[in-house]
Chains A and B, each alone.
Chain A
Amino acid sequence: KQEVTQIPAALSVPEGENLVLNCSFTDSAIYNLQWFRQDPGKGLTSLLLIQSSQREQTSGRLNASLDKSSGRSTLYIAASQPGDSATYLCAPTGTYKYIFGTGTRLKVLA
């Protein structure tokens, strides 16, 4: 059974810092890995999808990497802003299922 862990559970940083969020998973037989953000009281918004054949995917200030063999993915956020404050979730995918971690709650202080 796939288990997903996200560390740290919560993070508070001053505006402008570069930061790294970590995601680890126990079963390396995945299709892809998707990163989401969730604002309080809202649904999940897709940030990036890394295909299993890729090592990295970039979107604006976000860069996600994937190392299937070690069961790890990282989400790098450059020059953090208060608007980045949210919960970030990762989800490695199987044939039809997405298994979610419990997320990292990020607060960026102005």
Chain B
Amino acid sequence: DAGITQSPRHKVTETGTPVTLRCHQTENHRYMYWYRQDPGHGLRLIHYSYGVKDTDKGEVSDGYSVSRSKTEDFLLTLESATSSQTSVYFCAISEGGGAYEQYFGPGTRLTVT
């Protein structure tokens, strides 16, 4: 299995509070991704990174920001959590984007009350 960990694995937070999710990889892969998975919508891309300090938006980026200061870490921040951001969040990595296999972390279940 690819070395990808996510923390926390579960979190319950209140509306309006900031939340940061962490993804850590030990594979030295260049690309890192954040997805959310919701019933009826499948996996949707939030943000991705193609190198240290290089990031771009996905299809559902509103309300989310990301940072990547080291190759191994990719942080997802919800600046002010809303109930619509209750979801399961997955981190994924790829050696070189779409030409390579993508590997997933175990996920973080976030509940915003």
Q: Mark B74-102, 1 if CB is under 8 A from A, else 0.
A: 00000000000000001010000111111
Q: Assess whether B43 is in contact with A43, with CB atoms less than 8 Å apart.
A: no
Q: Of all chain B residues, which has the CB nearest A4? A: B42
Known: A96-B31, A101-B42, A102-B40. A44 touches B98 (CB 8 A): no
Q: Assess whether B107 is in contact with A42, with CB atoms less than 8 Å apart.
A: yes
Q: Is the interface of B mostly helix, strand, loop or mixed?
A: strand
Kindly list chain A residues whose C-beta atoms are within 8 Å of the C-beta of B33: 98
Q: Assess whether B42 is in contact with A49, with CB atoms less than 8 Å apart.
A: no
Q: How many A residues face the partner with a CB closer than 8 A?
A: 24
Interface core residue of A31, A32, A93, A97 (most chain B CB under 10 Å): A97
Kindly list chain B residues whose C-beta atoms are within 8 Å of the C-beta of A96: 31, 48, 50, 97-98
Q: Mark A4-41, 1 if CB is under 8 A from B, else 0.
A: 00000000000000000000000000111010100000
Q: How many angstroms from the CA of A101 to the CA of B41 in the assembled complex? A: 9
Q: Mark B42-55, 1 if CB is under 8 A from A, else 0.
A: 11010010100000
Q: Assess whether A49 is in contact with B101, with CB atoms less than 8 Å apart.
A: yes
Kindly list chain B residues whose C-beta atoms are within 8 Å of the C-beta of A93: 97-99, 102
7 residue pairs, one from A and one from B, having the closest CB atoms: A93-B98, A96-B97, A43-B104, A102-B42, A100-B43, A44-B104, A31-B98
Could you list which residues of chain B lie within 8 angstroms of chain A, going by C-beta atoms? 31, 33, 40-43, 45, 48, 50, 58, 90, 92, 97-107
Could you list which residues of chain A lie within 8 angstroms of chain B, going by C-beta atoms? 30-32, 34, 36, 42-46, 49, 51, 89, 91, 93-98, 100-103
